[in-house]
Amino acid sequence: MKLATLKNGTRDGRLVVVSRDLRKAVVADGIATTLQQALDDWDACAPRLRALSERLDAGRIDALDFDPAQAAAPLPRAPQWCDASAFLNHGSLMEVAFKTTPIPDADTIPLMYQGASDDFLGPCDDVPLPDEAHGIDFEGEFGVIVDEVPMGCTADDAMAHIKLVVQLNDVSLRALGFREIRTGFGFFTAKPSSSFAPVAVTQDELGDAWRDGRVHLPLHIQWNDAWFGNPHGGEMNFGFHQLIAHAAQTRKLSAGTIIGSGTVSNRDRAAGSACISERRAIELVDDGAIKTGFMRFGDTVRMEARNPDGGPLFGPIAQRVVQQRYHGTNTNSTKES
């Protein structure tokens, strides 16, 4: 089953069921108006949404054309966004390149921070940011959306709480991030709104590519239409079930909480990278000097994971970075590029 949210002028958009080939969609009216509503009552809504999905794929229902450009993030806002760093190769590269002190127990206790969840971007939305000097970077990731998870949930039990799998771009501002890490308080200004691929999918849509709480697929990334990397999600050191259990140690997780994998990263350098910062670290380690700069206004990024047979899965993220200027008290400030 594949679900998306179409923009309709409201904060939470309109829930639609999308065909497997991502060409058609049908509004889920009468079942749930929004994805958050469906997640809040998943046991009742999911069977009805799946039945609608089966009718759509069989061509037994009137459908509209699905346009990713009209899609918001599957959850345009969420009760919580918890992003991990579950690919230890990425952290190891950073430590070697920038001579930072290794984090104790990083190989046994997942690293995780709580990011902003009030304003996610759609797959084709511009990414508005104030200053190129902030070190604009993309980060290709996978994620999961859960129903309500009780405090103290074990990793084994956490698997049953995963309802949807997503693909995302966790936009990062590296120049601000270095300072925030040193404060000990964690990321804040360094993490603007994240972006999501148009479609959230149930685990069965991944087939054999979903196992051990991981997405065993490459994430293909292009920067300004040039190949940047295709790192594989199967190299994740902590599965999503383990990340959920970590997040739920001391709190319950509300339905609609999103758990991110962190930057997809592989030991094999031939796989490329899912973020600019990692490429810069590799250049520093291998060549002794950084050659690659960060993103500039007008730059584009494209990310997509596809089914093993090459068929569409989440749909692509295809975005442009633009300059956002402050316009006083006007809350409807415009994007300028």
Instruction: Say what the pLDDT of residue 329 is.
Output: 61
Instruction: Say what the pLDDT of residue 88 is.
Output: 94
Residues 171-207 pLDDT 10s: 999 988 877 677 777 787 889 999 999 999 999 999 9
Determine the average pLDDT of the residues in 51-72: 97
Closest CA to 198 of 55, 109, 94, 312: 312
Determine the average pLDDT of the residues in 261-267: 97
Determine the average pLDDT of the residues in 221-235: 98
Is 244 a residue whose pLDDT tops 90? yes
Q: Which CATH number fits domain 75-336: 3.20.20.70, 3.40.50.150, 3.90.850.10, 2.40.30.110?
A: 3.90.850.10
* Cα–Cα distance for residue pair 227/9, rounded to 1 Å: 35
Percent of the chain residues past pLDDT 70, beyond the cut:
96
Residues 218 and 209: beta-carbon distance below 8 Å: no
Instruction: Say what the pLDDT of residue 184 is.
Output: 73
* Cα–Cα distance for residue pair 74/163, rounded to 1 Å: 13
Residues 98-128 pLDDT 10s: 777 788 888 899 999 999 999 999 999 999 9
* Cα–Cα distance for residue pair 259/108, rounded to 1 Å: 18
The CA distances from residue 308 to 217, 247, 312, in Å, are 7, 31, 9
Residues 213 and 146: beta-carbon distance below 8 Å: no
* Cα–Cα distance for residue pair 320/128, rounded to 1 Å: 9
* Cα–Cα distance for residue pair 3/17, rounded to 1 Å: 5
Is 333 a residue whose pLDDT tops 50? no
Tokens of 14: 């309109």
Supply the mean pLDDT for the chain. 94
Closest CA to 261 of 145, 128, 134: 145
Is 276 a residue whose pLDDT tops 90? yes
Rounded to 5°, angle at Cα 276 from 273 and 278:
60
Q: How many CB atoms lie within 10 A of CB 101?
A: 6
pLDDT band (50, 70, 90) for residue 95: confident
Any idea where the domains of the chain sit in the sequence? Answer: 1-72, 75-336
Is 328 a residue whose pLDDT tops 80? no
Residues 82 and 114: beta-carbon distance below 8 Å: yes
Residues 295 and 179: beta-carbon distance below 8 Å: no
Strand, coil or helix: what is 288?
coil
Residues 220 and 272: beta-carbon distance below 8 Å: no
Closest CA to 145 of 257, 295, 25, 224: 257
Determine the average pLDDT of the residues in 37-52: 98
Q: 330 Cβ partners below 8 Å, 6+ apart?
A: none
Between 99 and 225, name the one with better pLDDT.
Answer: 225
Determine the average pLDDT of the residues in 209-238: 98
- Maximum CA pair distance of the chain? 60
pLDDT band (50, 70, 90) for residue 334: very low
Residues 155-165 pLDDT 10s: 999 999 999 99
Is 315 a residue whose pLDDT tops 90? yes
Q: How many CB atoms lie within 10 A of CB 27?
A: 16
Buried b (16+ CB within 10 A) or exposed e, 104-123: eeeeeebbbbebebeebbbb
